[in-house]
Structure 1
Amino acid sequence: MLNRRHLMAGAGTLAALLVATGLTSPALAQTTDIRFTLDWRFEGPAAGFLLAEDNGYFAEEGLNVTIDTGNGSVEAIPRVATGAYNMGFGDINSLIKFLDEDPTQNVKAVMMVYERPTFAVVGRKSLGVTEDPASLEGKTLGAPPPDGAFAQWPAFVEAAGIDTSEITIESIGFPVREPMLAQGDVDAVFGFAFSVILNLKANGVPDEDIATILMAENGLNLYGNAILVNTDFAAENPEAVQGVLRALAKGFADAVADPAAGAAAVLARNETLNLEIETERLEMANAMNIKTPYVVENGFGGIDPDRLAASIETLGISMGLQGNVTAEDVFDDSFLPPAEERMLP
């Protein structure tokens, strides 16, 4: 009969054999802790991140990922660049501006999530706003300073040919954005379409009174939010970064396949939300931004380098970039899983 010492010795021998033959799984290796910041709070579109955790995909990669909420898709960038977070989720266009101002910053995009940006100006028809960008002329627009959509206002103005001479921009906070629009204190607000529309409805504004101006449909051919990584962390932990992206590809596939389950994962972190609303919010993000025709054909997470280069040129004209960055400086696809592992259902 084998005693405990023999069993432990046998286990040690087996582990050594697995290491020698390269058959160890990530879960048998030492766990890597990763601090990850979202762009915003736990809402429907965050389901892909949360399902990667709940369904064990991070654990399968030997990762212990702590996911924190954020304060806007722009603020996620310095969080990652400074190393306060190892990885995060933020606006790639704001990242381009950030790196153009200081190319030495330690942050890069490694996986595209919103292949089409969800940037929008959302107003109320009863206040004179329609789906025509020109309807914003002469209006008062509410803008949270850290908002990714507001960051693209200069580029959108040029792309859509908007006369800003009689437009008033009022700085407002995220918590009062939709309530102010619902009360008529502003005529329209900047934000992510799927968030603003549903929050307006929750504030009593009917569907037929909501006018959504999507920047992507009015001349602004940019990318949206992407997975960011601190480049020092990536250099020291390349396998961990690859593991995060493998796990997220599975998590987002699950969120596309079963939005209700994705919304349930969100509500497990924020019980004040409504399951039906968050399911609808996730379905909107999947349809508008995540499972786009490009993604269906090419897989989730990658980019077209020529398109990214063209978007940098667009931002250069409208945002006064100094020309310090290229597409290669902004996006690194070397950590992505093969395309066949990134196809969405």
Structure 2
Amino acid sequence: MALVLTLVAVAPTGAQSVEKSNISFMLDWTIAGTHAPYFIPLDKGYYKAEGLNVKIDRGTGAGNTASNVASGVYDFGWADVTTLIAFDAQNPTKELTLVYISFQDAPLAIVSFKSTGITTLKDLQGKTVADQHGSAAGAVINVVTKAGTPEEIKITRKFVTPQLREPMLIRRDVDAILAFDVSSIMTLVDLGVPRDQISVLRYADIGFDVYGTGLWVRRDFLEKNPRTVAAMVRAVNKGTKDAIANPGAAAEMMTKYAPLLKTDIECQRLLIALDHHLNPDVARYGLSHVDPKRMQKTIEQVVHVQKFERTPALDHVWTDRFLPPQAERMAPPLGTCGPK
């Protein structure tokens, strides 16, 4: 009897409760420091403690992540909220739902060199920018420029692959690039550009105030596997708190899963990402806090910008029913990239 009791005591907390233990998880893009909150649970055993065996794969763009999760190739996805809303608007029978919000604002930005002088929307007049087909940043730039100033802003867009954007900016083939700040800033630094020479004009600061990124799941998966979803969310929440508390250790850990990453670059990239995680609402209410009115506005903005005929329902786009208690979601003090 004593032996049986010992075995029960050390069993994973979620092992007897989750409906599905083998979980596939697709990211938005190439594995980087940004993704530390999702690899920490793998590295520290948080997924395992919840009874989950999680396999994480890189993505090739948010749109592809949405398609793969919706089709059942992957159980969970992580990418930007605007892509999820756009997907739901066009696919009412395959809707995806946010179960954990990571970035409280969108990382969409206009990235340039300070010497170019782009600090406001008006400064874009007559400029040439690099974009990629289907990018979230490019999809809304015309509406952002119209909403941000009464003057007509005319820009020339060069469509290139993501790998060419930063090199084109360095060569001065373009004046700016439309991208995620969390990606482009440190890519430029890694290519030898001093960070103090980089200018970032975030869409959030020029009128496009929407939620950023989060953990997605199919609605049918959510309804059939509620304990699995709750277990996944608990593990991700723990990983997020650990990344906030010690970004340096988190970045170093990431090199186990992507050996070509540079710890110093990825720690700075992670700090940029964590800046999107943390805001006054999170400080007051905890990680993954969502204001329903702001989320509704996010949905309406995306639908308006991309001229969709259908507006997804708020309770289909987002739910908080799987979140841990508020006390477990309070963020620790933000750490640094140095030794702790």
* TM-score computed with the length of structure 1 as normaliser: 0.88
- What residue is the counterpart of 1:85 in the other structure? 74
Indicate if the aligned counterparts of 1:109 and 1:226 stay in contact, CA closer than 8 A. Answer: yes
Indicate if the aligned counterparts of 1:129 and 1:136 stay in contact, CA closer than 8 A. Answer: no
Separation of aligned partners in 2, 1:221 and 1:276: 30
What is the Cα deviation at residue 232 of structure 1?
Answer: 2.2
Gap change, CA 1:154 and 1:75, over 3 Å in 2: farther
| Secondary structure, aligned partner of 1:65 | strand
Gaps of 5+ in 2: 333-340
Separation of aligned partners in 2, 1:74 and 1:129: 32
What is the Cα deviation at residue 144 of structure 1?
Answer: 2.1
What is the Cα deviation at residue 106 of structure 1?
Answer: 3.6
- What residue is the counterpart of 2:245 in the other structure? 257
Identity fraction in percent:
32
Equivalenced residue count is 330
Indicate if the aligned counterparts of 1:52 and 1:251 stay in contact, CA closer than 8 A. Answer: yes
| Secondary structure, aligned partner of 1:66 | strand
What is the Cα deviation at residue 321 of structure 1?
Answer: 2.6
- What residue is the counterpart of 1:3 in the other structure? none
1:180 to 161, 164, 168: 168
Gap change, CA 1:272 and 1:42, over 3 Å in 2: same
1:61 to 50, 58, 80: 50
- What residue is the counterpart of 2:313 in the other structure? 326
Indicate if the aligned counterparts of 1:129 and 1:188 stay in contact, CA closer than 8 A. Answer: no
Query: RMSD between aligned alpha carbons?
Result: 2.4
Per-residue CA deviation, residues 200-239 of structure 1 (Å, 9 max, x unaligned), is 1222223343221111111111001111002222222111
Separation of aligned partners in 1, 2:30 and 2:72: 20
1:284 to 248, 272, 283: 272
What is the Cα deviation at residue 315 of structure 1?
Answer: 2.6
What is the Cα deviation at residue 93 of structure 1?
Answer: 1.3
Separation of aligned partners in 2, 1:178 and 1:202: 10
1:153 to 137, 141, 146: 141
- What residue is the counterpart of 2:107 in the other structure? 118
- What residue is the counterpart of 2:337 in the other structure? none
| Secondary structure, aligned partner of 1:75 | helix
Separation of aligned partners in 2, 1:82 and 1:162: 42
Q: Which amino acid is the alignment partner of residue 72 of structure 2?
A: G
Indicate if the aligned counterparts of 2:14 and 2:50 stay in contact, CA closer than 8 A. Answer: yes
Per-residue CA deviation, residues 34-73 of structure 1 (Å, 9 max, x unaligned), is 1001111121111100101111110010000101111123
- What residue is the counterpart of 1:70 in the other structure? 59
**1:1-345, aligned counterparts within 5 Å?**
11=4, 25-27=13-15, 32-126=21-115, 128-161=116-149, 166-287=154-275, 289-345=276-332
Separation of aligned partners in 2, 1:14 and 1:272: 42
Runs of 4+ in structure 1 deviating by more than 6 angstroms, as ranges, are none
Gap change, CA 1:265 and 1:199, over 3 Å in 2: same
Separation of aligned partners in 1, 2:101 and 2:199: 28
Separation of aligned partners in 2, 1:224 and 1:162: 26
Gaps of 5+ in 1: 1-5
Separation of aligned partners in 2, 1:96 and 1:110: 14
| Secondary structure, aligned partner of 2:62 | coil
* TM-score computed with the length of structure 2 as normaliser: 0.90
Separation of aligned partners in 1, 2:56 and 2:320: 22
Gap change, CA 1:217 and 1:37, over 3 Å in 2: same
Gap change, CA 1:91 and 1:164, over 3 Å in 2: farther
Indicate if the aligned counterparts of 1:71 and 1:146 stay in contact, CA closer than 8 A. Answer: no
What is the Cα deviation at residue 29 of structure 1?
Answer: 6.1
Gap change, CA 1:168 and 1:46, over 3 Å in 2: same
Per-residue CA deviation, residues 239-279 of structure 1 (Å, 9 max, x unaligned), is 11100000000000000000011101211122222111111
Separation of aligned partners in 2, 1:193 and 1:61: 33
Report which stretch shifted further, 238-247 or 129-138. Answer: 129-138
Q: Which amino acid is the alignment partner of residue 172 of structure 1?
A: V
Indicate if the aligned counterparts of 2:247 and 2:267 stay in contact, CA closer than 8 A. Answer: yes
Q: Which amino acid is the alignment partner of residue 91 of structure 1?
A: D
